[in-house]
Structure 1
């Protein structure tokens, strides 16, 4: 029994100190690069021919700088956000004397929304959309059990646009838009299940790449009695406050019960004492009234009491 307890303690200590770090790499189609310079380009975007979901999502990597090549002006790509379905770009700089040049997004799948750009300044975030035709080119991790859904985007002017979106979770390894893009994501959840079986809970520290995409996650198994975490300190402090308040309220309630019981007992004793005195006083008063009304009756009673007393003494 002692050996089993020692083994359990060692297992708990080992899990609490264990940290798993998983680096993500499944972002591009097989045979395609997923980075250009310091920017990661995940599918449905792609660098080079046949690497993107369609020609609009094609990215040209020029001297370690990625550009959206299908628009009339090449826009420098700063990052792709899979969760919010946006791409951040640098807008081209035009001379003040040239007013006719502009970036045409009319036929593209990219939308400029004020909700993503509170201050219309450089750089800007464009919402990228996927049509029903594009949906056939993405698998949302699994062709047999896809995790995609249709999303309605409010344009802010009374109109809306439909787009397809793959469900995104922070446990995903890579991009969910690829068939094998998030195939390995259960690795963390398996370790988390082992942690929970040991009465612990999972804590994740997410590390983001320079372009805002999830690069890796650190998994730590923690326990509710661990004082080394701010959460446990806060919970312990809250529990201590609750216990203190409960003890104080209980003490006050107990004192009130004792005080009420004491007053009730004292009142009962006083009432009984008064009843006893009242009976004695009433008996003496009755005898006096009978003596005034008929003295012979009192003499007979006195004689009877005297005789009874003598009889008792004779015995």
Structure 2
């Protein structure tokens, strides 16, 4: 097998002649500063009169293609220089040791004695690469084995040459490997040169201390704001600008003050930065004090104590004046902030009708409760706002609803919801805990409902609970009780306006809680107040409401009828796929009822396990709720009563319904009750009526 050998010596890197010691001659202002695209920084210079010493001299040559390139010595192309790291990059010839056409090994080595020059091979910034099959390459500090103190290398082998591929060498982006190198590696096809990093230093003296004591005036750190450091690679020293200064330390006045205030990290957030000569100073705004130890703006405890004492004294001797001042401040807050929640008229109306029977939270309390509204606290998102879970004092969980967009319509909706919920206290309606008036964006605070929504229980992420039909019936009954309270017992009556399974929340005991009153209205007192913009959710909208733009209690009844269909069939109200005629659940259901083919829309577990009389009774109730004429639909009270009786039939199958009275009421010929006592939302449940606890977050927003 063909064997190749490559050798690269740390002491055989650059062929440079020994040069005399540097002098302190300064470059002329007319010296050329660039060669091609390379900036030439003193102590390097183009021409002997422009460099610190001959071995820092750079030759700028025009190539055949017309481009100028800089060279150190006679044949090493200079790629760039660095004063801060005291390094240069040059193009390095690739050493080879290969068989020629005659089968003889030919070596291509080059080197120089580095000791009298300022350059040393950088042992940190270079990569040593060996190419070949069964090849050993080594790097040493001397050709002579007797004088050698350092030797290192690596081995390259090829298990299967055909598996090699062209591409960059791992860890060395400047060298592109070619498979042809294995068979014909020489100066021509190898590309000839690759970059190499050299450390440089002022090496006419062994250290900074010796250079400072030298009386010949050759000390190179000429800037008054510079520092000297011994070279980390060989004898000599290097210069750098002092902390707080930047520039060229090898020139008089070369290190100028650096403006640290340009760096955003100089002072803490909220701090004030002031640049000084060679440094900077940080200060903090009123009420805070800069800590040198922690580099932070901490509260000024002395100022806080003084203000507190002064405030207490002022409270003692000026109580009456403070009361007037507080009233003025409160009035200003109401005018500037609460105006966005519906204005002063809404605030006065709440006080006169119901009083502030809830907590007025501060902005700081809500920020702390939600960890500054962290994304992990989001439990609901919809068209009316974003809902976060929060923890307030006494470890009480709450749900905090913020408006998603700031426009006049949504401000009005939040104000409407605030007014409506502040008047309601019912176990099947989500409770308004309080609000925040200090912010531009409206914020409402609810009780936290942990177990998701009825929609999720039937269709979504909680579907795996496999809840019993009797439990679904109980939840529907409880939701009907809540809506009945809005229609019949609130003063004035309240129309929800967006009844759907996603707005029926489930508490820790899986009790129904009607939520989201952003689209709700108070029952109008005259005809003109009926005119409104149609809003709601597709699949639940009352067709009569869509035609007349008149939102009534019977609009809620229609929407609740769709909810009953979800309970009965387990299907979603609207399907976006499939034939257009089958996308609406209510249309499919009414068609099946008209054809006396209810089984076509019922799931198998309902057909096989539930009482036919129960299923038929619930279907008839849903059918009447979905009547196209609102006046023919039952009231929410009648619906709640009927669901109560159906629940009794579900829990006690031996109890029979009074079918004649049922048919009479649903057909609209009677407004009396269905003939049995109304089952309350708290009706005792049987064993199959229980639902396992599931600590999931609920969705309060549409």
Question: How does the TM-score come out when normalised to structure 1?
Answer: 0.45
Identify the structure with the greater helix proportion.
1
The structure showing larger relative contact order (alpha-carbon pairs under 8 Å, at least 6 residues apart) is 1
Question: How does the TM-score come out when normalised to structure 2?
Answer: 0.22
